[in-house]
Copies of this chain bind each other. A is one copy, B any other.
Amino acid sequence: MSDSISDVTIAKHDVQSADCRKISQVLARIGEKWSVLIIMMLSGGTRRFSDLRRDVDGISQRMLTLCLRGLERDGLVKRTVFPVVPPRVDYELTALGRSLCEPVVALGTWARDHTAEIDAARAAFDQRANLDGRRPDDD
C-alpha cells in the first residue's frame, strides 16, 4: 500500500464523507426537538414570540428562546426587536430559512408516509429481541 494510492483513496473518500458529514450536521440541528415545528410555523409568515409560545404545544419560554436563538445564529431566522413597552419581538424566516422548507417538507412527507412502516419495523424488531432474549439473528 503505497502512499500515493492511500492518498488518492482517502482523499476521494473524504470528499464524499465531508458532504455526508455536513448533511449530518444540518440534520442534527434541524432534528433538534423544536426546530421543525418552529420553522414550519414561521413558513406561514412573521410571528411574534408570544404567538409562537402559545401555538407550540408544550414548549417553554426558555426552550423557545433557545431554539429561536439557534435558528437565528444559523441565519435561518431574522429577529426584529420593537422599541416598545411591553417588549415586542418578531421572528421571520430569512431567504435561507425559506429555502430550507422545501427539503424539510420533502423529508417530512417521507416521514409521514412511512411512519407506520417504521413503527411496525420497530415493534417487530423489539419482539424478535424479546423472544430471543438476545440479539435477533437472521439464520
Contact = CB atoms under 8 A, between A and B. Distances in A.
Interface of A: 13-14, 16-17, 19-37, 40, 55-57, 72-76, 78-81, 83, 96, 99-100, 102-104, 106-112, 114-115, 117-118, 120-122, 124-126, 137-139
Contacts of A112: 19, 22-23
Contact of A111 (B26, B114, B138, B139): B26
What is the total number of copies of this protein in its complex? 2
A66 B45 CA distance: 40
> At the interface, is chain A mostly helix, strand, loop or mixed?
helix
Nearest to A21: B37
Given A96-B114, A100-B110, A27 B31 contact: yes
A36 B20 contact: yes
Nearest to A77: B121
Given A36-B24, A74-B122, A118-B74, A55 B13 contact: yes
Contacts of A76: 121
B31 A75 contact: no
Contact of A22 (B16, B32, B100, B115): B115
